[in-house]
């Protein structure tokens, strides 16, 4: 009889930013298949998802990946259900309207690596600042590059787990990095971002560091962190029409408030119109414009208006399920 460790991962009920929670279920002779992961329960009163008098919530497995750090281990992404089996209010994955997986998403997850002892990003001296921005982005060498071994290890873990991991780079501020993931299907894209975040956070336990997903953890003349959402559907991938692209972009304008509400807390500190962002109070789009709300990639234009769009507004702490769900809802309003 063999035993396997299934790490059930879910999102709690904290607001405005949900946290990951997880616990391990040990099972006998596990097949490794999602359909053989049982529904499990947890104490929702400890995660702001239920009251103490009726505390049970359910965990419904929705995606499974091999756990690269455990023998006979698996990472199980779950949705939270209420005790009656209906999706919990905090379960935004269940609200996504993309049953045919027509929408493809590529998320660019930025983050800061923070030293637990100093509470500062890597490269920041106590009581002062490193050199100004300019030399950290995609840098090489010990003067400007901080945390590479950690980032490389995380990339390897994601690849070993079977995530569709597409790349890494150091970002504009000291101690700031980014990874990219792509998936066909909004729910799958959200699953993979959360699993990648889980592996990232768990890895920090070995280093004495932690990850700060706040969109503007360092105030002043430093870039904030986003989770740029690259997205397409069949129309965007095949239309060959600038007019169609403009129509879809314009469909976002009436829903600016709704998008900002879904794009992460404290985002007003990042979306100022500076540091490669559009103002949170405006909506704009443009070809190759990183100062716009939505960027039309130059590759899309060069391919004859066949490709994708990039919404640059989502914050680094945003829930990818909420971001994807809101984008899909808006695109479906476009009369194309």
* In the chain, where the domains are located: 3-91, 104-225, 229-336
How many Cα atoms are found within 13 Å in the side-chain-facing hemisphere of 93?
25
Whether residue 1 is predicted with pLDDT greater than 80 in this model: the reply is no
User: DSSP labels for 190-233?
Assistant: HHHHHHHHHHHHHHHTTTTEEEE--S-SS-SSS---BEEEEEE-
CA–CA distance, 323 with 183 (Å, rounded to integer): 14
Residue 54 has pLDDT above 90, yes or no: no
Residue 298 has pLDDT above 80, yes or no: yes
C-alpha 13/C-alpha 48 separation (Å) is: 5
Mean pLDDT of 198-223: 96
The domain 229-336: what is its CATH number? 3.30.590.10
Instruction: Decide yes or no: CATH 3.10.20.70 for domain 3-91.
Output: yes
Q: What is the per-residue pLDDT for 335?
A: 92
User: Same fold for the domain at 104-225 and the one at 229-336?
Assistant: yes
CATH number of 104-225: 3.30.590.10
DSSP string, 21-34: EEEEEEEES--S-G
Per-residue pLDDT for 309 more than 90? yes
Q: Residue written as tokens 């099972």?
A: 27
Give the pLDDT band (50/70/90) at residue 71.
Answer: very high
Report the pLDDT value the prediction gives residue 316, as an integer from 0 to 100. 98
So what's the pLDDT on residue 336? 86
**pLDDT score, position 178:** 98
Q: For 78-108, give one letter per residue: b (16+ CB within 10 A) or e.
A: bbbbbeeeeebebbbbbebebeeebbbbbbb
CA 165 to chain centre: 12
Q: CA 330 from chain center: how many Å?
A: 19
- Percent of the chain's residues with pLDDT above 90: 96
Model-level pTM greater than 0.85? yes
Residue 166 CA to residue 68 CA, distance in Å, equals: 18
Q: What is the CA radius of gyration of the chain?
A: 20
Region at 168 (left for phi over 0; alpha for psi -120 to 50; beta for the rest): beta
């Amino acid at each position: 009889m063999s035993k396997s460790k299934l790490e059930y991962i879910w999102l709690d009920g904290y607001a405005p930013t949900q946290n990951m929670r997880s616990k391990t279920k040990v099972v006998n002779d596990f097949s490794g298949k999602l359909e053989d992961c049982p529904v499990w329960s947890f104490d929702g009163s400890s995660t702001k998802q239920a009251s103490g008098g009726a505390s049970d919530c359910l965990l419904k497995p929705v995606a499974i990946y091999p756990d690269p750090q455990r023998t006979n281990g698996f990472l199980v992404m779950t949705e939270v259900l209420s005790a009656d089996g209906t999706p919990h209010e905090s379960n935004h994955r269940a609200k996504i309207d993309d049953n045919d997986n027509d929408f493809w998403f590529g998320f660019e997850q930025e983050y800061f690596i923070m030293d637990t002892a100093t509470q500062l990003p890597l490269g920041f001296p106590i009581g002062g600042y490193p050199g100004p921005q300019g030399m950290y982005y995609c840098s090489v060498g010990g003067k400007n590059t901080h945390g590479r071994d950690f980032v490389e290890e995380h990339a390897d873990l994601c690849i070993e787990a079977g995530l569709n991991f597409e790349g890494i780079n150091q970002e504009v501020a000291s101690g700031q990095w980014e990874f990219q993931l792509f998936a066909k299907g909004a729910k799958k894209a959200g699953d993979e971002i959360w699993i990648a975040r889980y592996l990232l956070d768990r890895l920090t336990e070995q280093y004495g560091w932690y990850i700060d997903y706040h969109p503007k953890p360092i105030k002043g003349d430093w870039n904030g962190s986003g989770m740029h959402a690259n997205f397409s559907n069949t129309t965007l991938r095949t239309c060959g029409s600038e007019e169609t692209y403009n129509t879809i972009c314009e469909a976002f304008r009436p829903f600016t408030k709704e998008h900002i509400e879904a794009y992460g807390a404290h985002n007003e500190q990042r979306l100022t119109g500076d540091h490669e962002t559009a103002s949170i109070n405006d909506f704009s789009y443009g070809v190759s414009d990183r100062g716009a709300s939505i960027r039309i990639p130059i590759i899309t234009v060069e391919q004859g208006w066949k490709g994708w769009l990039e919404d640059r507004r989502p914050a680094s702490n945003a829930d990818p399920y909420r971001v994807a769900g809101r984008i899909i809802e808006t695109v479906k309003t476009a009369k194309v």
